[in-house]
Amino acid sequence: MTPLEERISYSFRNPRLLEEALTHPSVRHESQRDTFDNQRLEFLGDAVLQLVMTERLYRHFDEEAEGRLTKLRSRLVSRDTLRTYAVAIGLGSHLKLGRGEEASGGRDRTSTLGDGFEALIGAIYLDGGLEEARRFVLEQAKGDLEQIDEAPVDINPKGELQELLQSISPTSPIYEVIGQSGPEHDKVFVVEARWGGIVLGKGSGRNKKQAETVAAEEALRARLWEKKSA
């Protein structure tokens, strides 16, 4: 197995598919030869990714309307999200880039990493079938899916809270960890959202980001800043 295969816990029966998934179009453009790149696999992988995430959300949120499910899916398949997944498996270091793309920082570029990640999904789908592709996608998205399961919002609560409060005052809300519990591998964090000397909301989660999101959601429901200004 290659280091990347070990990282993703999948061994390709057809190594050429992995090579194709890792080959950026800049290699073909610079060589001026009729060889493969990862664009076709990216096209396929995007469809597989959409299917896997759509099915996961459909089955888990069985009472949600189409519009809300669409917004939740958009969070899970955005370019920024795919870049995060690609970085987590060290995909950038395995990509084959043309010299120009390499020199311009392509190995860390969001679009390059996102496209490469989708191409890898497409390659796994062709090599091992839908079940293997589903396993890979859901494993990489595990943390985000858990966060959505606990706080299934179709907005950015922290962003909305900040926008609302800055329409009143230039001061931004702050988030402070006020407690944590549990073993090192399964901690629960408790966070308060504060603004203007008042506690707007409190939230808990398996990481600080998740706890902050829940605190912002509580603040949006309580709207305590309105009582202060009344």
Give the catalytic positions in this structure.
46, 118
Among residues 181, 183, 182, 201, the alpha carbon closest in space to that of 191 is found at: 201
Query: What are the structure tokens assigned to 75, written together?
Result: 């969070």
d(CA 138, CA 124) in angstroms, rounded, equals 13
The gap between the terminal CA atoms of the chain, to the nearest Å, is 65
Strand partners, 202: 192
How many CA atoms does the CB half-sphere of 127 hold within 13 Å? 24
DSSP state letter for 207: S
